[in-house]
A = this chain, B = another copy of it.
């Protein structure tokens, strides 16, 4: 039987140990910030009834996700993000005091075409605040996002913020009333970072916009600068519609809150930010790793005040943020900030012959009781083969056990990298290794 016979489905992969060690490090740093911002971690269901997913995204979602009919004939979909499940849960729970601050790190499935950094199974972190329509909540989501990026070691990132209400109000004031056309505008604007100004104009022309409308819009979405400066430049938008005025006021309050949180200096207001996802209806933002823009935003978020209403009796305003772990790892690899350590043990307890094997086990047990990650031969290898194995895994120390050592109570501790040896008692070895800084 060939090794190749059992392949994985397209776009699906194992997470191998080296990557997993990095992921666990990243997850723990993200969780640290969830805790510090007082978000409660949970995990929404992995499987949803298809209609729950369709209720948010329309029947077209079927083409983009994994779904199937189960043995009882019910249509079931694999979750494609974490926000929908959280919103569905919150909408069904009127007992929770608001705001409800939930966070999750979890896997999702999409039947997309796999590409660089994108898989059909991928992991996201997600933090949401349900029950507040105040821009302070959006500011908290932005601040959390920035502290997460800092905490995983990204130094060069920028956060770009806007408000869909402002763009919507602006566009409406140009005479565009059909929500369908406005959605098309949003989709084009969302791409404007990746395509040329000419391509943007061409798309807007195809969407049926007149050229003076296109010129005004292209000029408007090119506004990006420090928040105070953008608020000044777009101040005129307040006179255009109630929607735009509300959006503008929200941005003013957001800037105040970000100032309070000490985060305003690292933020830009950028009128071209609208986010691709349809359910956003207010403040939106995304963060980019400087120099890593080609892999796209490392996180994105925004306000979706109408989504919970789809799932329950109550209308619950909500805002939040999510980021993809796979993309984040690409940025972190590039920035070379991920830890190099492997979970392979600190000490390999090696036996010089078969007679002392039981003693290597007792010594490994003592080291483990002293919280020192330890490994031991389980293949009855020769001493040379044991050391070769320890070396190939990158285990930093070998403790060598022979009849002489057991008699004297003095063991050789070999530094596998430096290729030096010291003779020490077991207690001395434990003290020595416990005092070493772990990476």
Contacts and interface: CB of A to CB of B under 8 A. Distances in A.
Interface string A375-411: 1111110000000010011010000000000000000
Most chain B beta-carbon contacts within 10 A, residue among A38, A42, A47, A360: A38
A41 B17 contact: yes
A interface secondary structure, majority: mixed
Contacts of A80: none
A292 to B, nearest CB: 25
Contacts of A376: 136, 140
Given A39-B343, A88-B6, A260-B357, A66 B55 contact: no
A394 to B, nearest CB: 11
B358 A256 contact: yes
Contact of A262 (B36, B44, B68, B362): B362
A40 interface: yes
A98 interface: yes
A55 to B, nearest CB: 7
Nearest to A310: B1
Contact of A261 (B263, B310, B361, B371): B361
A378 B262 contact: no
Contact of A342 (B40, B362, B393): B40
A439 interface: no
A137 B311 contact: no
A9 B49 contact: yes
Contact of A46 (B21, B109, B309): B109
Interface hub of A21, A35, A312, A343 (most chain B Cβ within 10 A): A343
Given A17-B41, A68-B68, A121-B45, A140 B313 contact: no
A375 B98 CA distance: 13
A294 interface: no
Contact of A3 (B91, B257, B371): B91
Contact of A99 (B41, B67, B259, B378): B378
A97 B393 contact: yes
A187 interface: no
A37 interface: yes
Interface string A21-56: 100100000010011111111111111110110010
Contacts of A1: 309-313
A393 B260 CA distance: 24
A20 B45 CA distance: 13
Contact of A43 (B15, B101, B379): B15
A37 B137 contact: no
Interface stretch (A69-77, A221-229, A234-242): A69-77
Contacts of A131: 379
B89 A14 contact: yes
Given A92-B6, A147-B368, A41 B21 contact: yes
Contacts of A85: 14
A359 interface: yes
A68 B111 CA distance: 13
A436 interface: no
A71 B52 CA distance: 21
Given A12-B45, A37-B375, 18 more contacts: A8-B45, A9-B47, A10-B72, A12-B47, A15-B43, A21-B40, A36-B371, A38-B343, A38-B345, A38-B374, A46-B107, A46-B121, A47-B109, A68-B68, A98-B389, A140-B378, A260-B361, A262-B362
